[in-house]
Structure 1
Amino acid sequence: MSSTTLPVPEGPASPSAAVPTDHSDLAELGYEQQLHRSLGKFASFAAGFSFVSILTTIFQLFALGFSFGGPAFFFTWPLVFLGQFMVALNFAELAARYPISGAIYQWARRMGGEIVGWFAGWFMIIAQIVTASAAAIALQVVLPSVWSGFQIVGDDPALTSPSGATNAVILGSVLLVLTTIINSIGVNWMSRINSIGVTCEIVGVVALVLVFFTHAQRGPQVVLDTGAPGAEPGYIWAWIVSGLMAAYVMVGFGSAGELAEETHNPRRVAPRTIRLALSASALGGGLMIVGALMAAPSLTDGNLATLGLPYVIDSILTSPWGTVLLIDVAIAVFICTLAIQTAASRLMFSMARDGRLPASKMLSKVNSKTGTPIAPSVLIGIACVAVLAVNVGNSAIFTTLSSVCIVLIYLAYMMVTVPLLVQRLKGWPHGGVQVDAEGMKLFTLGRLGVPVNLLAVLYGGMMVINLSWPRAEIFNPTGEFPVLQWAAPITVVAVVLVGIACLPRGKAHPKPVQIGA
């Protein structure tokens, strides 16, 4: 393996290599430094880790995976991780060469052209708005269990009940107001709060794993059990459906790229944190799943398939430790929502700065004191609250929207990996060895680039099909709205049509790029 293949040597480049500064780096890419550059390594890692937020997402989605695949659904977790890691490696290489806010949009346009880049950014903005709303809804699962006073409307906290769905909108809206304020007052406050929250989440994950393993009812071989679904014909298809749980969780690891213009030495830091955020999330999440399966009082009483992790936790922990853990989950929900909204606002800012969105002049303005684009943060917050309103009396529709937004994220990822593969076959990356602000060689896949990229594309295509397949049990579990079964293709078509209407026409891009350069 040559020195330019994975992993890259950590030693300094030759003394003759030009060492750029972060500001000059950005200038060479066609942009001036407007955002405040103050984020370090941990803050960058925290952005990606908190977007994935395993304490939030596995807490919500464990029951989904178990109900379809039984204990053996665990094996979908490492498979999805391997596929997403192929994607993350490609993102890491792009982050090293194009450390710009609005990463997905910027990478896609540099590899596939302006139209491809615009739609990649458009898909991600829509998906992130819905994802932030879905994260905010999770407070309803946690807070009423901590204190009954959080159930402001009615007395039934279940998300599927009218009072629970309405109360979820109230709690989620309050959360989104707080995250909007934090994003508006500056990236320093956002990073401090996010870093503290991620530390709490990591401590919570470790504590939860230890609790599970010390209260084990059975050994790790439980993951070989197919459970009740395994007794039915066609188990492999049910197992494939169970993989949606992992697919829903392991997204957003590229958030470090969105904050590149606010990170010190992003050419070095962002590639590392993209890989580390996904890997740490996969490791922690995998241990949580195995631990829960080992510690569950019963695998056959139906509670794991309906209640999921809360059932296991309630069976093991008594107050006050159970309450402490629930508070930690609430913190994870908070920072997850904050991270998603931050990433969305930077993406919107990046596209507006290029004049690619309506009201671009307003959305691209950076407050000189806070160093943040306030208008995108506020607009994202308002849009998220509007999406939350769908949950009032229609929790099934909201659940469907949440599922569909993951399809949009995977499509946006493919709008990066597919054109990147085309450019690799043409010889990308071109030019000599490049270095970061510390004079170190940039992360590169070298000769592994084409096979890793090809695997990322194949994986992405299969996951888009799996996520979009019109399954009534996923998109219309209540059976009340038959059209929801086709929600994924209908929504994608609708987003594309609205995107075509919003696509800037007759206007030259102010920062034109040469494809594949």
Structure 2
Amino acid sequence: MSADDGLAGFGYKQELERTLGNFHTFAAGISYISILTGTFQLFYFGFSFGGPAYWWSWPLVFAGQLMVALSFAELAAHYPVAGSIYNWSKKLGNPHVAWLAGWMMLTASIVTIAAVALAYQITLPQIASFFQFAEDPAVNAVILGGVLILFTTLVNAWGVKLMATLNSVGVFIELIAAVLLIIALAVNITRGPSVVMETHDKGAGQPWGYFGAFLVASLASTYVMYGFDTASSLGEESHDPRKNAPKAIMRALIASFVIGGLILLFALMAVGDINNPQIDTGGLQFIVLDVLGSTVGKIFLIAVVIAITVCNLAVQSAAIRMMFAMARDNNLPAGSKLARVSPKTKTPVVPAVITGVLALLILVVNINQPQIFTVITSIGIIMIYLAYLLVTVPMLLKRLRGQWPPPEQPGQKYFSLGKFGLPVNILGVLWGGAVVVNLAWPRRDVYNATPPYHWYLEWGAVLFVGIVGLVGFGYYWFVLRHKTGVLADHAAIEEVLGD
């Protein structure tokens, strides 16, 4: 038996319940990306820095992420296992690289739970003033976000069936609403598609002219189009994951690109006054209400709230699987407790609670230090892209050595890039490196936009990523690596020979 043949090939026994079908895995990937969440949360950012021409960052980011997703689809076919990024890196590289990839992804996912929860504040008070419980928007954001995190924690702890059902229903509503929104905006267009060539003179004063402004604006798209690997993170709970996970990864990314790109394009074409300064602050929420009116617009904003909810559900679900995957290798403190699967719910309950509590603690930072929270959110996304690189770089090295792809099981045909594998992998690595540099570049406009100005905030992304990486890896190197290994309670019953 090949070492990559199911869970036994990883040395694990089946503990999580296989209940998820094709749409469940697709929904997990697309809800993590969550077009309505990301575009409505970040449109204002891209527009304020790049004007209408920021739209071009959407296809640019898609092209780069497509190279990564294609590589991930190959990996999902061979290694459909929980904590996909961590386990893929372990198979492609070594335990040390794998731990760092898992650590980066886990930390980033917990930060992302808090960041997504803040999106409630951007949308709910615009639906009804009832949701503005506190006068201070930052405090109110924490209240609303805290309620969301409590809900997603309870659902994820209850079991994968409930999580998958709510997620699938939410994604179905989100997709229907997104298509209807595209149609509604399209029938109200007031200008042609040439609007995406307008820069609104955003490059003025920039050292690199509009190119410099565009690089900043492109962060809005970069912050959205990731998380498609979640479709494979649920591999141990899915039926026929070798076949379904690669398709789910690709469908989630492509559907998100098409739907999101059309929403952004038609919004720019439909808004009454493209020069209205309120677009810089109100974003897509303002445009929808401006174009469709209060009543219809608020109906679509309700769909956005549903999208935010299932997005947080999916992000936390992925974080739980990552914590579980690392813990059963004894690669986290108190591994045996973190890796315990509830016999009743067939779910790792302790990771659900811990990820929820940690996300709430991070959320509280937003009350008095919103600039620090912005830095924390950004480094979370940087760490996800770094984790992706810790998969694509070892994969490229394997290809160059002629060690990838591994042999297929007899009678099975896996998703394969064939002769295109090497150039796609190279482009994915180059893209990932460029994105990390652009994300981490010390820009005051991004990391320290308002007084007081501090050098450590401007350089916050570089400093915090470095601290998280070094401290985490230091703990692993001096403490955990001496204990690492599949815990006895989770080991495969029969010993499986290696490749």
* Interval of TM-score (by shorter of Structure 1 and Structure 2): over 0.9
Task: Measure the CA separation in 2 of the matches of 1:321 and 1:90.
Answer: 41
Which residue among 260, 270, 276 is the counterpart of 2:245? Answer: 270
Instruction: Tell me by how many angstroms 1:434 deviates.
Output: 3.1
Equivalenced residue count is 485
Cross-structure match for 1:225: 198
Matches within 5 A, 1:218-367: 218-230=191-203, 234-367=209-342
Provide the rounded CA distance (Å) in 2 between the counterparts of 1:379 and 1:508: 21
CA distance in 2, matches of 1:505, 1:264: 33
The equivalent of 2:61 in structure 1 is: 80
1:141-182: CA deviations, max 9, x gaps?
11122222221122xxxxxxxx11111111111111111110
List alignment gaps of at least 5 residues for structure 2: none
**Match status 1:500 vs 2:481:** no
8 Å CA contact 1:228–1:300 kept in 2: the answer is no
Q: Distance in 2 between matches of 1:319 and 1:227?
A: 28
Q: Is the 8 A contact 1:182 1:190 kept in 2?
A: yes
Aligned to 1:5: none
**Structure 1 match to 2:130:** 149
Whether 2:17 is the aligned partner of 1:45: answer: no
> In the alignment, which residue of structure 1 is the partner of 2:70?
89
Letter of the 1:186 counterpart: G
1:509: how far off? Answer: 2.6
Deviation at 1:114, TM superposition (A): 0.4
Distance in 2, Cα, partners of 1:211 & 1:480: 43
**Residues 119-153 of structure 1: CA deviation (Å, up to 9, x unaligned):** 00000111001111011111111112222222112
1:228 positional shift: 2.5
Residue of structure 2 in register with 1:128 after alignment: 109
Query: Structure 1 residue runs of 4+, over 4 Å off?
Result: 230-233, 511-514
Distance between the aligned counterparts of 1:179 and 1:441, measured in 2? 37
Q: Give the aligned partner of residue 363 of structure 2.
A: 388
Runs (5+) with no aligned partner, structure 1: 1-17, 155-162
Following superposition, the deviation at residue 468 of structure 1 comes to 0.4
CA contact under 8 A between 2:138 and 2:366: conserved in structure 1? yes
Q: In percent, how many aligned pairs have the same letter?
A: 47
TM (normalized to structure 1)? Answer: 0.90
1:230: Cα distance to partner?
5.0
TM-score, with length taken from structure 2: 0.94
1:314 is displaced (CA, Å) by 1.5
Contact in 2 for aligned 1:472/1:479 (Cα 8 Å)? no
Query: What is the rounded CA distance, in whole Å, between the counterparts of 1:288 and 1:502 in structure 2?
Result: 45
Contact 1:165 1:394 in 2 (8 A): no
In the other structure, the counterpart of 1:112 is 93
User: 1:301, 1:508 → 2: CA distance?
Assistant: 57
Select between 39-48 and 223-232 the one with higher mean Cα deviation: 223-232
Partner-residue secondary structure (3-state), 1:348: helix
Q: Which residue of 2 aligns with 1:480?
A: 452
Per-residue deviation, residues 13-54 of structure 1 (Å, max 9, x unmatched) = xxxxx9x9x9x7222332111001000000000001000111
Query: 2: distance between equivalents of 1:28 and 1:193?
Result: 32
Rounded to whole Å, the distance in 2 between the matches of 1:506 and 1:309 is 51
- 2:391 maps to 416
CA distance in 2 between counterparts of 1:433 and 1:360 reads 32
- CA contact 1:292–1:309 (8 Å) conserved in 2: yes
Task: Look up the match of 1:470.
Answer: 442
Q: CA RMSD in A?
A: 2.0
Partner SS, residue 229 of structure 1: coil
Letter in 1 for 2:28: A
Query: 1:10 matched to which residue of 2?
Result: none
